[in-house]
Structure 1
Amino acid sequence: MSFPDDYVQEKVPEDIQSYVIPLTDDLKNSFGQLDEGTLIIYGAFAGARPALENLAKMKSGDVVLATHVPAKHRGLEDMHAWYDTRLRKWFEHNVEAIDNGVNIRRIFILRRDDLIEPGQSCIKDARSVEIMQMHEDAGIEVYLTWLEDIERQRDVEDSILFGNRLVQVNQSAWDKQGHNEILVSVNSRIISGYRRRWNQWQAAGRTLSEVLQLYSEPESQAIRYCVED
């Protein structure tokens, strides 16, 4: 399969072209002109294959910068999806990459009220904390940023930067059939732009350990979870 010629200004590398899923005319018209070295994949869980393949190409010492943004989609339901088969498989490949010397840094972007009880200094969703700690325990650098603390919230998207080689961005939520749109680009300008955004989102938050310290008992260091009535 090849990407329509009128949707790229320059030939897209063959290893990127191989990800393409045929687009309907309506979808093609909605995307407009894309930057060179960039394409849109559309299909059922369209980002899974390129993400796994590109992670496998990373070498020891390479850095992967990732974001997961439940705040822009289904909230904690998206967060809990790390226990589902699809994201669990992605996590297992992350662990394998770390074992091979790849550095992975992931920002979780949540709405504060989804995790912290308003007006109280306690965490109301232990499962989300468990998921983030699972990532940290696996050797992933974990950061937590509140969506409310990001200046340009409309720019926040699920994204993965594979070193300086490629960026993959989830541009839509899944529809009822599990289809979504994924932007894949080897364009250096686009990669630099997403790296800059990632750094800004990281700076707006804290490491997971720092956040949990704010919601832990001073003496025991036990995380302070809200007690249900």
Structure 2
Amino acid sequence: MSAAVDLRRRETSALELMDDPECDDDALTKTYGHFALVNRVVSGWHAVYRRRIAPLARASAVPLTILDIGSGGGDVARSLATWAARDGHPVEVTAIDPDERAFAYASALPPLPGVVFERTASRDLVDAGREFDLVVSNHVLHHLEPATLEGLLRDSEHLARRLVIHNDIARARLAYAAYAVATTGTFRGSFIHDDGLLSIRRSYTPRELRREAPEGWRVESQWPFRVLLTFDAARRAVPSA
């Protein structure tokens, strides 16, 4: 790892290549396509599904409704629906992203029962009065500064009837070094290597998230180098808008 990379403080100025509206379309498409593998290896969603989501789906008399905020290439939404269907507990997943490029990519994938994609933002759903049993996101938190993070969490509280799970990277030197080694020379023609390293630099540590999280939110460290920011909506009344 380069000595010039300082992970003691969160990077707040640099933007990921895929967030550039003028970025290369082919590289962006390849990046969306690689997300399924990267998330399967590093995000830990299957364990989260087993511990947190499957019990809710199993106990529900009707399909559990899930909102995936910032769904990107759509792989997390599709995985959750696939796992639940295999367990005999189908869910209804609404995956949203305001980026037209992400929406176009995800919408062009083969249709999967129980998954719909919408080009919209969480605030739009709040304004429309929509609600879901469960609200999730993957690798969204590190894109947000404290003010916008506060807005996402406020929206999440309004949108979720039962539980919120925001899953992201926890910034750490070892995570950065391991990712740099694992992705050097791989995922050619995409943004996976460069943007992934920047994502780690931009991510919050558990301590930083605890400072930013409003009352009622819980920060949980997950192995390896993961953090969950959760809210038990079923135990706390949501304040009026």
Q: Which TM bucket (shorter chain)?
A: 0.3 to 0.5
User: Looking at CA atoms only, which structure, 1 or 2, has the larger radius of gyration?
Assistant: 1
In terms of fraction of residues, the more helix-rich structure is: 2
TM normalised by structure 2 equals: 0.35
